[in-house]
Amino acid sequence: MPAVERHITVEPLKTQFIEEQPVELVERKGLGHPDSICDGVSEAVSRALSKMYLDEYGRILHHNTDETHVVGGQATPSFGNGKIAHPAYVCLVGRATTEVNGEKLPFRQTSIDAAKAYIKGVCSHLDVEKQLDFDCKIGQGSIDLRGVFEQEGHLANDTSFGCGYAPLSETETLVLETERFLTLKLKKKVRSLGEDVKVMGCRRGDEIKLTVAAAMVGRELKGRDDYISAIREVHDEVEKNAGKYTRRQVSVDVNTGDNYDKGVYYITVTGLSLENGDDGSTGRGNRVNGLITPYRPMSMEATSGKNPVNHVGKIYNLLSKEIASDIVKKAGGNVKEVHVRILSQIGKPVDQPLVAAVNLLVADAANKSDVYRQAREVTDGWLAKAHTVPQLLLTGKLATF
């Protein structure tokens, strides 16, 4: 087969290196945040439907489940106890292949089962069967998009772009690893720590301020003194953990909305803010690198739940991140920063975008022509294997939030 000519441009990145900019803001919404739960559910449903289609028909059929919504419930938390007065509501919204040759598929039950399994795996203080109500409003997809999907080859189902960058800055790494530390490690030690956490990082020069919001579980706390002690432990552990990722000065604030004198504490029944009116939607949280980064390129696409075969809103964001990361790896210390943006046209091959634009901030001592050539090769290589994205997602080798 003749070589495919792809529209790849490699140009200088005309910006100040992120580590040298005077201010940097970085956010991560934790796994139990309502928006992250929606992202996780959307992606879990997409993967479950993909596996159902593969098992039954040997290929992934058309679907997009990127519109999950959480409507917060009502709760009365208290120290040592607490009650759920009204369950939160999880609504699965999207499009799917609902039947094949007149045979109805169990897409609704498959979707709800996947949503429940995901939330059970993330939220340890929540009774999924009793404290959440589930509804599935997924319906048949539109004829035009199904038609694009079913044509031979992987043809883009939208005119859309994706973007990514590498490497993560020190502040970005710190924010990402702080949330992982809280929800995957520290909660095993601090039993009252819930999964709904948010970490905001603000770097000014060489000083980093981490603001942590951590939902605490009331039934694990005897009272005010217990709560204060737990918050102090969270503060001290986060501050100590930060030393693994930066030598900059780091200060930590936890639950700054508390007012002990007025009896205001961030306590919950389930460790989740969704129990008491905090709503969520797919795509309003972390980008594919797990962060919200206003000082870097970001796409507004809801990546989670989009079909992995030809929805470029998903594929190009994932590819942009992988391309940028691999350019940095291949170039060693010769590249300080990489930005990647890829644009599709609906109905055109996914592996042949309208443009794949790569911008490099190259180290002064580097051979620019060699670095540019390597960047082009990496970009071309990833585009050529865009068809592998579904398998990488289904095997957990790529993440969407």
pLDDT in tens, 182-230: 999 999 999 999 999 999 999 999 999 999 999 999 999 999 999 999 9
- What is the C-alpha to C-alpha distance for residues 313 and 307, in angstroms, rounded to an integer? 9
How many other CB atoms sit within 10 Å of the CB of residue 134? 18
Please check whether residue 114 is in contact with residue 121, taking contact to mean a CB–CB distance below 8 angstroms: no
- What is the C-alpha to C-alpha distance for residues 95 and 98, in angstroms, rounded to an integer? 9
**Which among 79, 30, 321 has a CA at the least distance from the CA of 187?**
30
Inter-residue long-range contacts of 18-23, CB under 8 Å, 24+ positions, other chains counted: 18/169, 18/295, 18/296, 18/337, 19/169, 19/170, 21/295, 22/204, 22/205, 23/202, 23/203, 23/204, 23/295
Tell me the pTM: 0.94
pLDDT single digits (tens) 45-60:
999 999 999 999 999 9
Spans of all domains in the chain: 20-28+170-280
Question: How far is CA 19 from its chain centroid?
Answer: 23
And the tokens for 277? 């009116």
HSE, CB side, 13 Å, CA atoms: give it for residue 264.
7
| Cis before 167? omega within 30 | yes
- What is the C-alpha to C-alpha distance for residues 292 and 401, in angstroms, rounded to an integer? 10
pLDDT of residue 142: 59
β partners of residue 320: none
Angle at 322 between CA 180 and CA 2, to 5 degrees: 160
Question: Which helix (H) or strand (E) element contains residue 6?
Answer: none
β partners of residue 252: 210
β partners of residue 343: 161, 355
pLDDT of residue 277: 86
Pairing mode of beta strands 88-92, 95-96: unpaired
pLDDT of residue 231: 98
> What are the helix and strand counts (H, E) for the chain?
10, 20
List the pLDDT tens digit at each of the 401 positions of the chain: 457 889 999 999 999 999 999 999 999 999 999 999 999 999 999 999 999 999 999 999 999 999 999 999 999 999 999 999 999 999 999 999 999 988 999 999 999 999 999 999 999 999 999 999 999 999 997 555 465 566 667 899 999 999 999 999 999 999 999 999 999 999 999 999 999 999 999 999 999 999 999 999 999 999 999 999 999 999 999 999 999 999 999 999 999 999 999 999 999 999 999 999 899 999 999 999 999 999 999 999 999 999 999 999 999 999 999 999 999 999 989 999 999 999 999 999 999 999 999 999 999 989 999 999 999 999 999 999 999 999 999 999 999 99
- What is the C-alpha to C-alpha distance for residues 115 and 137, in angstroms, rounded to an integer? 13
Q: What is the CATH T-level fold of the domain 20-28+170-280, as seen in this structure?
A: GMP Synthetase; Chain A, domain 3 (3.30.300)
- What interhelical angle do 368-384 and 312-331 show, nearest 10? 140
- What is the C-alpha to C-alpha distance for residues 224 and 229, in angstroms, rounded to an integer? 9
Pairing mode of beta strands 99-100, 23-29: unpaired
Local structure of residue 190 (DSSP, 8 states)? S
